[in-house]
Amino acid sequence: MSTRHILLGLLATGPSHGYDLKRRHDERFPQARPLAYGQVYTTLQRLVRDGLAEVDGTASEGGPERTTYRVTGEGTHELARWAGEIAPPAPFVANEIFAKVVVAILAGGDPDAYLSAQRTAHMERMRELTAVKAAKGADLATVLSADYALNHLDADLRWMSTTAARLTTLTAEVDAA
C-alpha cells in the first residue's frame, strides 16, 4: 500500500493536519499496520516537496501548533493516475514460509513440523479474523479487510498442504543441489 497515495486520497476530501490524517488512516484501513506519526509527517513533507500537497495554514487553537495540508492540482492528477493504475499480478510471490521450509531441509531441521506449527498459527489468525468480521457493529471496511486476509491465509494453508505432501521430493531436490 502506498502511504503517499493514501494520504493524498485522505487530503482529497479536504485540508487536514497530520494528526487527523493518521487517525483517519487507522479508521479507514483497520486491518493495515497503523501509521506512525513520524511516517505521516515525513510523507507530508515529501508530498509538499514534490508539489503534490501544500501547506494550507498553521494554527495552535490553545494546543500544540498544527499545520494543515491540502492536495494540489498536481496531487489530484497523481492520485487519479495511481488509483486507475492496474496492479500487475506478480510472476512469483516472495514466500517466507517456503524459504523456511527449504532452510529447514538444508539445516537438517524438520520441515514437516515447521509446516504443522505454521498451519496452527494460520488457523488461529483465521479464527481471530472471523471473530472480527462477526463482531457486532463491524463496519464494511473491517469486514472486507478481514475477508481479504482470510482468503490469503486460506491460500497459504492450501499451499502448505500441497508442500507437505511433496516434502519427500522437495527434500531430495534440495539435497541434490
How does pLDDT run across 95-130, given as a tens digit for each residue?
A: 788 888 888 888 788 999 999 999 999 999 999 999
pLDDT at 72 over 90: yes
Model pTM greater than 0.75? no
CA distance 28 to 16: 15
**Whole-angstrom Cα distance, residue 21 to residue 6?**
10
Q: Are strands 66-71 and 53-59 parallel, antiparallel or unpaired?
A: antiparallel
Provide, rounded to the nearest whole percent, the portion of the chain with pLDDT above 70.
Answer: 95
Give the chain's largest Cα–Cα span.
70
25-56 confidence digits (pLDDT tens): 888 877 677 889 999 999 999 999 999 999 99
What single DSSP character describes residue 106?
Answer: H
Q: Give me the residues paired with residue 85 across strands.
A: none
The grid coordinates listed for 102 are 527449504
Residue 103 corresponds to which amino acid?
Answer: V
Nearest to 153 by CA among 131, 117, 132, 123: 123
Alpha helix ranges (H) inside the chain: 3-11, 18-28, 37-49, 73-84, 96-106, 111-134, 140-165, 167-176
Contact by Cβ (8 Å): 17, 69: yes
